[in-house]
A and B are shown apart, each in its own frame.
Chain A
Amino acid sequence: MDIKSYQTIRRAIFTIIILVSLTPLLTLISVTAFGFHTAYRSKVMAYLDQLVEKHALNIDTFLFEKLANIRVLALSHSMEELANEELLNHLLANLQEGHNDVFVDLGFVNEQGVQIAYAGPFKLGRADYSDARWFKEALQNRVYISDVFMGLRGLPHFIVAVKKRVGDERYILRSTIDFGAFNRLVENTRMGKTGFAFIINRETELQTHSREDISAFIPMLEKRLWGQEPDKLPPRNNDEDSWTSFAVQRALAERPVYHFTGKNAVTNKAAIFVNTFLKDNEWALVYVQDKADAFASLYAARNLSLLVLLIGGIAIVIMASILSKRISDRIRTMDLEKQMMNEKVIEAGKLASVGELAAGIAHEINNPVAIMVEESGWIGDLLEEDEFKSTENLAEIRRALTQIQTQGSRCKAITHKLLSFARKTDPMERDVDINSLITEVVEMSRQQARYANVRINTNLSDNLSPVTVSPSEMQQVLLNLINNALDAMDKKEGGLLSISTRMEEGFVKVDVSDTGSGIPDANLKRIFDPFFTTKPVGKGTGLGLSIVHGIMEKMGGKITVNSAVGVGTTFHLYLPVTPPKAEDGKP
């Protein structure tokens, strides 16, 4: 496979990991976030609604109480009593004592708007209110609470007024309410960092003091609060019975609460607005809070989960990338190994077929050689006849015949060696004299050793126990070790190959040592691995020592190695001794 297909595999793995990991994560987070968001939001909104409603109720209650107090005064005192400033002062003192100075002053005004009597800190006696708006309204209604205005005193205040009929004459008992006490009711409605409340009337005039500059809200609020459809807007009670409806509305405390979103002109951020109507729907209580502030915990949780998602996502991507690379690399390595293995197997197969071919050729040549030798023998026989005795070249012919015989024997030796070497390994085990086997193999290798400029020394012990091995396999083991030794010494231009045998710890021990280049420590652990080779490509299969190892393991022996770079290498073969009882059972 080419590089591209591994990249495709890698991409596929990557995509699958990403999809499988991120899809549930994203789904879970979105579902949870949506549910949490909705629940939390409605809870916050419900809380704000409740807060606004409660405050509206408080303010209404405050106003009603003040109104009720003045009304009691108006009902329980005659016109003459109320016109008496001394008594008025006394009443004011009582009121102030009972209501923490909420009542600033008391005034009694006739139908013409002239104040008949006054009690309070301002010297307002005989003031003329005939043009004041509150006065006109108060004459129309039984009770009246004015909007906040500056009035004659130049201070923000509002007036609670009760109409008193004496015959056809109408009088107004009025009291100024301390603006500070009223303002505190609203000012206290603070939440978080940006939440605050204020009251505006139908003319969108601010009825409370606010620390924030909220003039920027006004145009938006005008449209929102009072610009709604007339039937949706709470009705304004202008009739004589407004007192009653005001009381009823307050008593029921069922006021609609509206909320909407907009821009907080103070902080210049998106904000939520909550409002309800009070004071007989003439005033609107508005609560403003930045969204970020109101839903701070929600946004914090959202940011946290987004962060977790981000980190998790990055981690997944990195992990997927690394994992997919590792897997594709592994597949690639395995493919390469497989390919290499296939090549080695093919090569090994080739070697085997070359061996078989050599055996076949050797055998085919053997018969003609046999005939040639026979024929030369026949010529020799014929030369014994008397008729040839006189031939002068007799000696020469005899010499030629001898030569043919000699070369025939040589051919025989070669073909027999070839046959014994190249034939299929015969795994049948039998009792073997290891010394003669070694001698045989050494003879085979002697020519090769001469080319490598290597001397071969054998030091074979006479009293060895017989071993039960497959001779051809044992031959292969020795040949592989000798060939390796010769290769190792070839690089160093010659050396000494020693093979020795002796008994050791119940094993027949065969040492094959060379004075070659030695094996570095790094390679020493791997030399028995299949296909491990330090020879150039095409020179070694890397199978030799692994076959040796396999054969030794199979016969119940073992092979160990000592090596020093530059000094040489010694392989130790331990061959198991034949158990005595098995001897008669063997061929």
Chain B
Amino acid sequence: MNHIKILLVDDEEGFVQTMQKRLAKRNLNTDAAYSGGEALSVLQKAPADVVILDVKMPGLDGIETLREIKKIYPLTEVIMLTGHATVQSAIEGMKLGAFDYLMKPCDLEELVQKVRDAAGKKDAHEQKIIEARARNIALRRGD
């Protein structure tokens, strides 16, 4: 569980850097990206288990980035961070497959908990896939 690969995406460098340090202190290693586009290229090099994604960013915004991520990496879980009180964008994000959302500024412990839940969900999901595969193989072998 301590080897969750996390990608932190936000256009505020100060926020990202501090968050990285704080998560690192909780044994969570993170990659950082400062825009939606950068996030996609980082994911290409090093796929992440959980992406923490700010909704409001210049250029490719959170919702569009989420859509892209879910298209390319369907198993990757995304937690949305929103500065808006409009729950609207968060709800839209959830409908597009985001795991959960948090209001900025957020409580770190809460964030960590959500990250762990998300990773857990992903693991469980992968486990199911593995099991399905194994069953398939077993069926083919005819045991």
Contact = CB atoms under 8 A, between A and B. Distances in A.
Contacts of A370: 12, 15, 83, 104-106
Interface in A567-587: 587
Interface core residue of A369, A408, A412, A417 (most chain B CB under 10 Å):
A412
Q: Is the interface of A mostly helix, strand, loop or mixed?
A: helix
A419 B106 CA distance: 17
B103 interface: yes
Interface residues of A, number: 24
Nearest to A374: B18
Given A369-B105, A408-B105, A416-B103, A363 B84 contact: yes
A371 B18 contact: yes
Contacts of B91: 587
Interface of B: 12, 14-15, 18-19, 21-22, 25, 56, 83-86, 88, 91, 103-106, 108
14 contacts: A367-B12, A370-B12, A374-B105, A375-B18, A377-B22, A408-B105, A409-B105, A412-B103, A417-B85, A423-B85, A423-B86, A426-B86, A426-B88, A587-B91
Nearest to B84: A419
B86 A373 contact: no
A420 B86 CA distance: 7
A371 B84 contact: no
Nearest to B15: A371
Contacts of A416: 85, 103
Contacts of B105: 366, 369-374, 408-409, 412
A503 to B, nearest CB: 27
A374 B84 contact: no
A416 B103 CA distance: 9
Interface centre among A371, A426, A587 (most CB of B within 10 A): A371
Nearest to A417: B85
A374 B103 CA distance: 13
A254 interface: no
A374 B15 contact: yes
A367 to B, nearest CB: 5
A548 to B, nearest CB: 23
The 3 closest A-B pairs by CB, nearest first: A370-B105, A373-B105, A420-B85
Contact of A367 (B19, B83, B88): B83
A384 B14 CA distance: 21
A378 interface: yes
Which of B19, B21, B83, B86 has the most chain A CB within a 10 Å cutoff?
B83
Given A366-B104, A381-B25, 14 more contacts: A366-B83, A367-B15, A367-B104, A370-B104, A371-B18, A374-B105, A374-B108, A377-B18, A377-B22, A377-B108, A381-B21, A416-B85, A419-B86, A426-B88
Contacts of B84: 363, 419
Contacts of A419: 84-86
Contact of A363 (B14, B25, B83, B106): B83
Contact of B21 (A378, A409, A420): A378
Nearest to B54: A367
Interface in A16-52: none
Nearest to B92: A587
A371 B21 CA distance: 13
Interface string A341-373: 000000000000000000000010011011111
A409 B110 CA distance: 14
Given A366-B83, A408-B105, A374 B19 contact: yes
Nearest to B24: A381
Nearest to A375: B18
Contacts of B108: 374, 377
Contacts of A423: 85-86
Contacts of A420: 85-86
A366, A370, A384, A423 interface centre (most CB from chain B within 10 Å): A370
A373 B21 CA distance: 14
Interface in A405-447: 408-409, 412, 416-417, 419-420, 423, 426
A363 to B, nearest CB: 6
A587 B92 CA distance: 10
Contacts of B88: 426
Contacts of B104: 366-367, 370, 412
Contacts of B106: 370
A378 B103 contact: no
A306 to B, nearest CB: 82
A535 to B, nearest CB: 30
B26 to A, nearest CB: 8
B22 A381 contact: yes
A363 B84 CA distance: 7
B14 A371 contact: yes
Contacts of B18: 371, 374-375, 377-378
B114 to A, nearest CB: 16
Contacts of B14: 371, 374-375
B128 to A, nearest CB: 29
B91 to A, nearest CB: 8
A364 to B, nearest CB: 9
Contacts of A373: 105
Contacts of A417: 85
Nearest to B95: A587
Contacts of A384: 25
Nearest to A426: B88
Contacts of B21: 378, 381
Most buried by B among A372, A381, A408: A381
A409 B107 CA distance: 10
A363 B56 contact: yes
Contact of B22 (A363, A378, A409, A412): A378
Which one of A377, A408, A420, A587 has the greatest number of beta carbons of chain B within 10 Å?
Answer: A377
B83 A371 contact: no
A416 B82 CA distance: 11
Contacts of A381: 21-22, 25
Contacts of B25: 381, 384
Contacts of B22: 374, 377-378, 381
A363 B103 CA distance: 12
